[in-house]
Amino acid sequence: MGSAAQALGSGSVSPLGLEQTARVRTARNTAEAFASLRAAGSSVRDEKVRNPDHLASRFIALGPRLTTLVKVPALRPLARRMAERVSPGAYYYELARVKHIDRVLSEELDSGIGQLVILGAGFDTRAYRFADRLSSTRVFELDHPVTAALKQARVRKVFGVLPEHVTYVSDDLEREELSAALQRAGYQRGEQTLFIWSGVSFYLSAEAVDSVLAFVRASSGPGSSIVFDYHYRGFTDGTRDYYGGADGRRRVEELGEPCIFGIEEGGASMLLARHGLELVSDLGPSELERRYLIRSDGSLDGRPFGFISIAHARLPRHANGSSS
């Protein structure tokens, strides 16, 4: 953790080497970009379209970057407008995504999950925003070693210490089996678990995506579920135009993280069924608008990306559906 954190504060070439320093910079920029979108919406007056992530701004470091605008509440409206000019749909998609996944987490906690696994945690703050409700739930935050180190450094800065109820796991889903990393950290096979997998599947190979879904099926108990977002294949392969698609593709290319995985529109249920998972919901842009982007006066606050859906899938609750 220390090496990654030190690399962020230096303008010189890090002893980590140019490649590792670039990876740290990319991890920081990506995590802060999404956190800044959440922070920009966290002080909106209308609760119906306010982003619930009140901690997001605290995870953004001060510095000569546009993301730091959101640390000043009075500048957040400007930040929202700038974000939508740079990448139309990004701000509103992040708002809908946070609200929906928060709702899924709340419902799964009501159902009695024993574990929460956040895959590709980035600057996700749910382990801290839901801390009171997670007191009897084992929480695992898993991410690439570089991003995991950066996250822990920020958590220490925000809270002073690493919270005892969170276990931090370093893993590269393209290189190491998920089961090995989690089981070393104390993950309990066969227990009802919620997996949150936000903003990750796009960048993985189809084989890595299959590996994650297979792990959910094989290792978790009846009633376990996974909520994740995915790109439409027409966006990934460039064969279709979607709202925000051209700017979205340009942004990820600039970050050096090309999107390589996608699912045909309406095809998530077939993919999930191959892994013994039943689709609970699959929310595309129109449904995200209807559920999460309507103001108190009934008007639409804004349009989300047109090329992403959020799926929630469950392992059957009956014993025969489990292979634990």
- 293 lies in a domain? yes
- 266 lies in a domain? yes
What pLDDT score was predicted for residue 253?
74
- 66 lies in a domain? no
Residue among 175, 210, 169, 162 nearest 187 (CA): 169
DSSP string, 241-272: --TTHHHHHHHHHHTT------B-TT-HHHHH
Measured distance CA(37)–CA(168) in Å, rounded = 24
Range of the domain at 287: 87-321
Overall number of domains in the chain: 1
What pLDDT score was predicted for residue 174?
58
- 186 lies in a domain? yes
What pLDDT score was predicted for residue 235?
95
What pLDDT score was predicted for residue 123?
96
Burial class (CB within 10 angstroms; exposed 0-12, middle 13-18, buried 19+) of 147: buried
What pLDDT score was predicted for residue 210?
95
What pLDDT score was predicted for residue 64?
59
Chunked mean pLDDT (size 10), the chain, 324 residues: 27 43 63 93 97 96 77 91 93 98 98 96 97 96 91 96 95 72 93 96 92 95 97 94 89 77 96 97 98 98 98 82 39
Residue 231: CATH number of its domain? 3.40.50.150
Q: What angle do CA 83, 87, 93 make, to 5 degrees?
A: 80
β-partners of residue 310 are: 229, 283
What pLDDT score was predicted for residue 101?
98
What pLDDT score was predicted for residue 179?
85
